[in-house]
């Protein structure tokens, strides 16, 4: 059984060359693998699970920040060596704004600037209870996205720093 999850067929197809190298590292030739496909489907699934773990472990090790956006809340999870931090905000109940409709960082930043009284700032730190990669995987599975553009995250950090002073 995979530590995280088994890669989907479309993911495996995109990683075909890497899978072949993985099999070679296990001393499994193309002919051997064809025999496994026919004679031992259980072993095939075990190999795919192990390959999935290798791929996902490498991917998860490169993740630094995840974003979770709901209609009323925007949270960033930052992963460090032995702990994770949470920075973000939630909208006051009275606000009818849906943050999921804001597709550009500038829109969110502008909302924060123009509606400061309708924002409740969130901040926290949590030590890992499991391996770092497992913690990241769990957060990622809860409707989070890997942060590509950290403009909003940096802006939120500045706002939180000013709020503490």
Distance of alpha carbon 93 from alpha carbon 150, whole angstroms: 26
Q: Dump pLDDT digits (tens) for 26-76.
A: 999 999 999 999 999 999 999 999 999 999 999 999 999 999 999 999 999
For 146, phi then psi, to 5°, come to -70, 130
Cα distances (Å, whole numbers) of residue 79 to 42, 76, 132, 134: 35, 10, 8, 12
Q: Is the pLDDT of residue 165 over 60?
A: no
> What sign for the dihedral angle of Cα 78, 84, 88, 94?
positive
| pLDDT 10s digits, 87-124 | 999 999 888 999 999 989 999 999 999 998 899 999 99
Residue 163: pLDDT band with limits 50, 70, 90: low
Question: What is the reported pTM?
Answer: 0.84
- Counted residue by residue, the chain has a size of 165
């Amino acid at each position: 059984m995979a530590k995280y999850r088994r890669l989907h067929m479309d993911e495996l197809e995109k990683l075909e060359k890497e899978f072949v190298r993985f099999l070679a590292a296990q001393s499994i030739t193309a002919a051997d693998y064809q025999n496994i496909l026919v004679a031992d489907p259980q072993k095939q699934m075990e190999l795919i699970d192990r390959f999935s773990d290798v791929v996902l472990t490498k991917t998860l090790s490169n993740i630094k920040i995840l974003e979770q956006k709901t209609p009323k809340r925007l949270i960033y999870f930052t992963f460090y060596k032995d702990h994770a931090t949470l920075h973000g905000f939630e909208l006051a109940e009275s606000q009818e704004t849906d943050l999921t409709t804001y597709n550009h960082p500038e829109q969110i930043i502008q909302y924060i600037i123009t509606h400061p009284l309708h924002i409740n700032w969130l901040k926290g730190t949590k030590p890992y209870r499991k391996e770092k990669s497992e913690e990241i995987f769990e957060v990622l599975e809860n409707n989070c996205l890997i942060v590509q553009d950290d403009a909003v995250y940096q802006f939120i950090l500045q706002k939180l720093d000013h709020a503490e002073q």
